[in-house]
Amino acid sequence: MTMENERRTHSHALEDRSRDHRDELQQLRRELTDETERLQRTNREALEALERHYKVELEDVQTQKAKEIQELRTKLGTEQQDLGLALQGKDREMDVLRGQMDSLKSDLDREQALKNNLQKQMAEMSNTIVQLQKTNLTLRSQVEFLESDSKQQSDSFTSMEARLQEALRQAEEARQKLIREETERRILFNKYQELKGNIRVMCRVRPVLGEGGAEGSEARFAFPDEKSSTQIDVTGLEERSSLGAVTRKTHPFEFDRVFDPRIQNEEVFGEISQLVQSALDGYNVCIFCYGQTGSGKTFTMSSADGMIPRATHMIYETITKLEEKSWTYTMEGSFVEVYNEELRDLLTPAKEVDGKKKIEIRHDEARKQTTVTNVKTVRLDTADKVEVMLRQAQNNRSVAATKANERSSRSHSVFILKLVGENAATGERCEGTLNLVDLAGSERLNHSGAEGERMKETQNINKSLACLGDVIEALGRGSAHVPYRNSKLTHLLQYSLGGNSKTLMFVMVSPLEAHLKETLTSLRFATKVRLFC
């Protein structure tokens, strides 16, 4: 029991001491917490005080630095201004210096040019001096010569003067003879042309185009008289007799000249050049190309070396030569088309045509000259103008062709060249016209079954070609009435068909078997025309 008590007592004592220690510890903790809080507060306050202090100091420093920067800026601005002003001053000085340099340079150039000029003048002057010295020497020797024998010289001058006068008289006489001879030549030449016939018919066969029969099989032609070249024999189509025998007839034709396919435009022109000469001599001349489409009419007339350019070149050459016989010429050209019995100007593009201005044919009975109103007439003072004119006509015709479907083979084109010559020495005057006509395709003659526009075209072509035949027939027969007015074409060409005018018809022939029927029709028409003459 005592032990128990002792242990209990001891335990109580231990508990008490432990409690005391715990209280003591709590007390110490509280004190520590308080002390820590106090220290923290003190530190914070000290820190805040320090922060405030340094902030004030920083603001002071910033203000000071800003002041310094401002001062520096102001200083820099002033310095920049000073520098700019100095720079401007320098620029002005530079400009002045540049101006002075330019003026010095141009002074130098002037001086240089002056120097060159003077050098040139000096060279020229030294040449002149040399020349003058030479002339001086010659004159001196002449003076010496004249002084030595003046009588002999004056005799020699008188004789020379007389010889000169005689030579001049002979030259004038020769010139007058030349002029008279030209007048006589014109008369004789015309007589010769009349003997050859005022209406002539020639035939031309074009070559087959392309290689190896590309165009189709060839018709059979023979040219029996190689010398005179006036015949052509055509082997006709196959004919079957009632007994079944197959034969082919030969159709002989004769013309004033036949050109086989090898003949070039140059040789063809050789035949017509006499007619061009007649036009220059003051006669009216008409050259037609007749034949079916594709037989070579346009190639013969208007190609680059065709009759139109060749004729104009010959005219230029001849009128230049005639100048020494006192003849001066003017040449004017126009190009018209007869389509559906209406005249159209081929030198004015369709869009520029004034529909209100009617194209009309006017005849001057006294001068036997025709004018066409409201068509463009070009003064042909250079050969190039003819080429330009042909190109224009070709363009205007082809524009119409696309609209009217191959217009060129359904219209007649007429190139009209008026030639007026005057002789200053004799007072003679001549006025001739050369008409070069590319007729519409003749195959339309037999065309039937056409309707509408085609029908109208066909009838008009038929009519105008028939009228041409009628006019030539009436002229050949010497009829009192020639039906010129029955078609626009013959009305237009009235003064170039008949009277003392000259007419040449080319009948153009295709070499193809397929065209044989048309070929025979064309050759028969041409033969009829020739028979009338």
Ligand X SMILES: Nc1ncnc2c1ncn2[C@@H]1O[C@H](COP(=O)(O)OP(=O)(O)OP(=O)(O)O)[C@@H](O)[C@H]1O
Give residues in contact with ligand X (CB under 6 A): 206-207, 209, 291, 293-299, 408-409, 441, 508
295 is in an annotated binding site: yes
421 is in an annotated binding site: no
115 is in an annotated binding site: no
355 is in an annotated binding site: no
Pick between residue 297 and residue 310 the one whose CB is nearest to ligand X: 297
Residue appearing with tokens 């037999």: 446
498 is in an annotated binding site: no
Name the minimum Å distance from CB 274 to ligand X. Answer: 21
Task: Name the token pair of 39.
Answer: 């220290």
Pick between residue 498 and residue 511 the one whose CB is nearest to ligand X: 511
Pick between residue 258 and residue 280 the one whose CB is nearest to ligand X: 258
Pick between residue 375 and residue 437 the one whose CB is nearest to ligand X: 437
Tell me how crowded residue 234 is: count the other CB atoms within 10 A of its CB.
19
Name the minimum Å distance from CB 227 to ligand X. Answer: 22
Distance in angstroms (rounded) separating the CA atoms of residues 31 and 34: 5
Tell me how crowded residue 439 is: count the other CB atoms within 10 A of its CB.
25
| Rounded alpha-carbon distances, angstroms, from residue 233 to 205, 220, 263, 297 | 12, 8, 17, 21
Pick between residue 277 and residue 298 the one whose CB is nearest to ligand X: 298
Pick between residue 197 and residue 261 the one whose CB is nearest to ligand X: 261
Name the minimum Å distance from CB 409 to ligand X. Answer: 3
Residue appearing with tokens 């020229």: 124
Query: Would you call 504 helix, strand, or coil by DSSP?
Result: strand
Residue appearing with tokens 């002037």: 110
Strands 257-259 and 199-205: parallel
411 is in an annotated binding site: no
SS (H, E, C) 323-348: HHHCEEEEEEEEEEEEECCEEEECCC
Length of the chain equals 533
Query: Helical H runs in 331-414?
Result: 383-404
294 is in an annotated binding site: yes
Name the minimum Å distance from CB 204 to ligand X. Answer: 7
Residue appearing with tokens 């392309």: 210
Task: Name the token pair of 225.
Answer: 């008289």
Query: Would you call 57 helix, strand, or coil by DSSP?
Result: helix
Name the minimum Å distance from CB 300 to ligand X. Answer: 7
Distance in angstroms (rounded) separating the CA atoms of residues 251 and 444: 23
Task: Name the token pair of 326.
Answer: 């006192």
Q: What pairs with residue 419 in β-bridges? A: 331, 432
Pick between residue 334 and residue 409 the one whose CB is nearest to ligand X: 409
Residue number closest to ligand X, CB atom: 296
Name the minimum Å distance from CB 206 to ligand X. Answer: 4
Name the minimum Å distance from CB 421 to ligand X. Answer: 32
Angle, in degrees to the nearest 10, between helices 516-532 and 452-477? 30
Residues in Cβ contact with 458 at an 8 Å cutoff, skipping those fewer than 6 apart: 444, 447, 450
Distance in angstroms (rounded) separating the CA atoms of residues 140 and 129: 16
Name the minimum Å distance from CB 414 to ligand X. Answer: 14
291 is in an annotated binding site: yes
Pick between residue 432 and residue 511 the one whose CB is nearest to ligand X: 511
Tell me how crowded residue 413 is: count the other CB atoms within 10 A of its CB.
26
- Report the binding-site residues: 291-298
- Report the binding-site residues for ATP: 291-298
